[in-house]
Amino acid sequence: MSASQTPPRIRVAGLTKTFGEVTALAGVDLEVGENEFVSIVGASGCGKSTLLSLIAGLEDPSSGTLEAAGVPITGPGRDRGVVFQQATLMPWLTVQQNVEFALRGEPGLSRLDRADRAREFIGLVGLAGFERAHPAQLSGGMQQRAALARSLSYGPDVLLMDEPFGALDALTRRTMQELLLDVWEQHRLTVLLVTHDIDEAVVTSDRVVVMSPRPGRVQRIVDVPIARPRTLASERTPEFRELSDEILALIHAGSPAE
């Protein structure tokens, strides 16, 4: 197969999702390429989390197409790792055990391999030394690091993140954004990040998807042609501020006047 025929890593077409009377998504089309970093922004309730859950395979569409690398999405899969706003670690397990638990289903991994693999990813997210800590002993940022280690440990092609840093203070959020960009650059993952922080979307992404208010549709896709690696300094450039303002204006323009 030539490169031009390779199906996109994620393809969503004509996607509609209703919950009873509520139409959460109405005809969403989106393609995300291999190794692309794409953010999704939009007013609260516009269907961002619903879209991510559908791609994760945690919900079924009402109609439309969902594919990962050309294969229909029918449920959760190890090709797609998920990180939510609240780290969903198991409180009775240590950090090490939480990651090992996620690796149970991995074919060809012995108990020792699992332990090694878990330690490797705990180190990667900067938690070396905390293997034996329980989630309650960790700060919010550290819990999100552990959740990230767990999702990365089984080598997903796509990382689906729903406001993963939304509950963290500004400084911790910044550190986590840098960690995420490092991981993305080293592992060449595809990332789909839902965020309400427009600067976070711009500093991390190749493209920012702006959704219209409910029922959610793709209102506009904004390219971010800012050179990488991006740093704090990139955010102070006029180019960055212009893109960020443009996205904010799009969200405001799409929202009904209050």
Ligand X SMILES: Nc1ncnc2c1ncn2[C@@H]1O[C@H](COP(=O)(O)OP(=O)(O)O)[C@@H](O)[C@H]1O
Cα dihedral 189, 194, 195, 200, rounded to 10, equals 20
* 45 lies in the site for ligand X, by CB under 6 A: yes
Q: Which does 71 bind (CB under 5 to 8 A by kind): ligand X, Mg ion, none?
A: none
Which of 10, 12, 47, 121 is in the footprint of ligand X by CB under 6 A? 47
Q: Look at the block and give the residue holding tokens 């960790």.
A: 138
- Residues with Cβ within 8 Å of residue 37, at least 6 apart in sequence: 184, 190, 191, 193, 204, 205, 206
Beta bridge partner(s), residue 218: 211
Q: Are strands 190-194 and 158-162 parallel, antiparallel or unpaired?
A: parallel
* 48 lies in the site for ligand X, by CB under 6 A: yes
* 6 lies in the site for ligand X, by CB under 6 A: no
* Cβ nearer to ligand X, comparing 42 with 135: 42
Which of 39, 49, 195, 244 is in the footprint of Mg ion by CB under 5 A? 49
- Evaluate whether 173 touches 165 at the Cβ level (below 8 Å): yes
Contact mark string toward ligand X, 180..219, x via CB under 6 A: ----------------------------------x-----
Which residue's C-beta sits nearest to Mg ion? 49
Residues in contact with Mg ion by the rule CB under 5 A: 48-49
